Structure 1
Amino acid sequence: MLDVVAVVLAALACVLAGLALRRTTSRPSGDGVEALPEDVHGLRQEVAALKAENRDALRHLSVVRYDAFGDVGGHLSWSLALLDDAGHGTVLTSIHGRSEARTYAKTVVSWSCEQQLSPEEEEAIEHARP
């Protein structure tokens, strides 16, 4: 007799669990699924606005380290390219010698420069390019 009661209670528990599962997976009414397309559209607009703001950010950078002179080691000279998405920015170069260091800055427009670039500066710009 107890076995029959246990089987009936187990079957009833399965039915109730199935009903509860159906309720949690069914679509909610009101603001739920119907409002989703508006939310997605708003999020896409926000993402597009953030991308537009970041176009001018100096996000692309590269550093090339090297020995400018044969008698000075340690790769203490370097060229640094700092560029935005359109390739506008600057290249900074520091050349270290035994007794002095010189620093140069050159303007980059559309991934190129009006001034003559050293091979290391050209390499820094190419490595910064996405």
Structure 2
Amino acid sequence: MTVAVVAGALALVALVLIVVAMVRQAGMRRQYTILQGKDSTESFLAAVARKTAEVDALRHEVDDLSQVLDRARADLAEAVRHVSVVRYDAFGDMGGRMSFSAAFLDDAGDGVVLTTIHARTESRTYMKAVAQGHAETLLSPEEEQAVEAAMRGSN
């Protein structure tokens, strides 16, 4: 009787192990199907090689896009991105703040200040170069205010 009980217990353990192995195999088969793709007859090694090639191609594409992004950032740093306008009354006899000074600068603080002064009978426009936030010629208080505001990034 003991031999029969031991044999039955071993058979039960073997049955449990078979069920566990079948469940694991089904999971691996699902993963293999995902790797391989539906209705594919290629081998496991071929599927892995194909996926590896796809990952390598994606890496190269990401590297290329990273270089494009770096170039775009460098170009953008040299673009006029900081603009500020200061409006004011240049003469006491005229209102409406028709005169203005506008600063157009890039990230390094290089650019120009454009000033237009309106009077009753005439209008004058001046442009001054700005390098690293400073002009070679003397700036009016309004022009300085426009440059400082543009450097801060405000309008």
TM over 0.5: yes
Give the CA deviation at 1:35.
3.4
Aligned residues: 110
* 1:101 equivalent in alignment to 2:123: yes
- In structure 2, the residue matched to 1:120 is 142
How far does the alpha carbon of each residue in 1:52-99 deviate from its partner, in whole angstroms, 9 at most, with x for none? 223322222111111111221111000011112211111010011122
Separation in structure 2 between the aligned mates of residue 109 and residue 65 of structure 1, nearest angstrom:
23
Give the CA deviation at 1:106.
0.9
- In structure 2, the residue matched to 1:87 is 109
* 1:62 equivalent in alignment to 2:62: no
Separation in structure 1 between the aligned mates of residue 59 and residue 141 of structure 2, nearest angstrom:
52
TM-score by length of 2: 0.60
TM-score by length of 1: 0.71
Amino acid of the structure 1 residue aligned with 2:122? E
SS in 1 for 2:78: coil
Query: What are the within-5 Å matches in structure 2 for residues 21-40 of structure 1?
Result: 23=34, 29-40=51-62
Separation in structure 1 between the aligned mates of residue 63 and residue 89 of structure 2, nearest angstrom:
53
Structure number with the bigger relative contact order (C-alpha 8 A, sep ≥ 6) is 1
Give the CA deviation at 1:110.
0.9
Give the CA deviation at 1:38.
2.4
- In structure 2, the residue matched to 1:7 is none
Amino acid of the structure 1 residue aligned with 2:101? S
Separation in structure 2 between the aligned mates of residue 100 and residue 116 of structure 1, nearest angstrom:
23
- Unmatched segments (≥5 aa) in structure 1: 1-18
Amino acid of the structure 2 residue aligned with 1:75? R
Give the CA deviation at 1:34.
4.4
* 1:50 equivalent in alignment to 2:63: no
Whichever structure has more helix as a proportion of its residues is: 2
Q: Which structure has the greater CA radius of gyration?
A: 2
